[in-house]
Every structure is written in structure tokens, then in C-alpha cells.
Amino acid sequence: MALEFSTSYLVDTLGLFRYYKKQAERAIEQVSDEQLVLTLDAEMNSIALIVKHMAGNMRSRWTDFLTSDGEKPDRDRDSEFEGPPENREALMALWEAGWQCLFEALESLTDADLGRKVTIRGEAHSVMQAVNRQVAHYSYHCGQIVLLAKHFRGGAWETLTVARRQSGEFNRRVAEGSASQR
């Protein structure tokens, strides 16, 4: 993740959400359609069900974010863990729709909104607390997606960050880049 120096909570948080979204997408791209619905055991979720859950959560949390409870009455959370979308295209459309809710809500906020009160499941949160809650939630699930994709790909996995035994080379390139920017 190329860090953009910022003292803005909102700018930084938007960058984090975009980073985790991209990491999960890069992992999803590496698996077959069949692997999207595989589970490691009966108690685990597939990549497709994690995506479906995240999209449902995003729609619920970020639609009318400042004015309605983050747990919408029409949300059926349990159904998010059943019956994955019919194909990759439908899955990714659901994914994008969820993220669109999030980005539209966050991009409309100002620093003055951070102390406002919102509710999630009837519980009061400051806007900042609610956003932090979702950063933690989505990064957790994006990590699950990456773990599953990496497991399914095995030796064919294309690393998303610094490859094993390559940190020395990575650090050298960073140092060279820093020196050339002076």
C-alpha cells in the first residue's frame, strides 16, 4: 500500500478501505469459479459467502448512515451465509454495490461529522467509532478471503505484498527510491 501522508482521519480511512478492497479482489482473481464456493470444512464460509456477507453488511451499515440504524430492518443476516450468488459476475456485482454504499457514505462526510452520533443495532456510536468498527470488520473478512485464496492456489499463489525471502530486495529498492527523491 502506497501510503499517502495525511492528517485527515477520513482520507486515511478511505485509503485503508480501498487497500483492503483491492487486496481481496487480487486474491479473488486468482481462484477459479469452483474455488469461490469451496469451504475447508462444514463450519467455514466460502469466499463467495464472505463476499455476500460483507456486501449485505455494507448495504445495511452505510445506507442512510447518519440518519438510520446501521442494522436495517430488512437485512436478513443469516441468509448472507447461505446460497452464494450464481456466478462470479453476480458475486462481484454484489461486492461492488456494497463498496459503493460505503464510499458514497464516507466521501460525503466532513471532519465535523466525526463526533456525530449514529446507531448500530440500537447502540450509540460516534461516527468515528462506527467507521473504526467497520474498518476492523472488513479487514478481518478480507484477510479470510486472502487466506482461503492462498490455500486454494497453493504454489501457484501470486503474493499480494512482499514475497517471502524478498524483504531485503524490497528494502533496497525502497531505499534507492527514497535517495532518488531527495
In a domain, 10, yes or no: no
Residue 84 has φ and ψ, to the nearest 5°, of -65, 160
**In this structure, are residues 58 and 98 in contact, taking their beta carbons and an 8 Å threshold?**
yes
Residue 5 has what pLDDT? 75
In a domain, 70, yes or no: yes
In a domain, 11, yes or no: no
C-alpha cell at 94: 454484489
pTM score, two decimals?
0.87
Q: How far from the centroid of its chain's Cα atoms is residue 64's Cα?
A: 20
Residue 52 has what pLDDT? 98
In a domain, 172, yes or no: no
Residue 117 has φ and ψ, to the nearest 5°, of -95, 130
Residue 161 has what pLDDT? 81
Q: What is the 3-state secondary structure (H, E, C) of the chain?
A: CCCCCCCCHHHHHHHHHHHHHHHHHHHHHCCCHHHHCCCCCCCCCCHHHHHHHHHHHHHHHHCCCCCCCCCCCCCCHHHHHCCCCCCHHHHHHHHHHHHHHHHHHHHCCCHHHHHCEEEECCEEEEHHHHHHHHHHHHHHHHHHHHHHHHHHHHHHCCCCCCCCCCHHHHHHHHHHHHHHCC
In a domain, 179, yes or no: no
Residue 19 has what pLDDT? 96
Using CA atoms, how far apart are residues 7 and 127, in angstroms rounded to an integer? 17
Q: Which residues of the chain have pLDDT under 50?
A: none
In a domain, 14, yes or no: no
Residue 173 has what pLDDT? 65
pLDDT digits 0-9 by tens, 23-33: 999 999 999 99
Domain of 30, CATH number, reads 1.20.120.450
**Could you list the residue range(s) of the whole structural domain that residue 115 is in?**
24-157
In a domain, 74, yes or no: yes
How many domains would you assign to the chain? 1
pLDDT digits 0-9 by tens, 26-68: 999 999 999 999 999 999 999 999 999 999 999 999 999 999 9
* Residue count of the chain: 182
In a domain, 6, yes or no: no
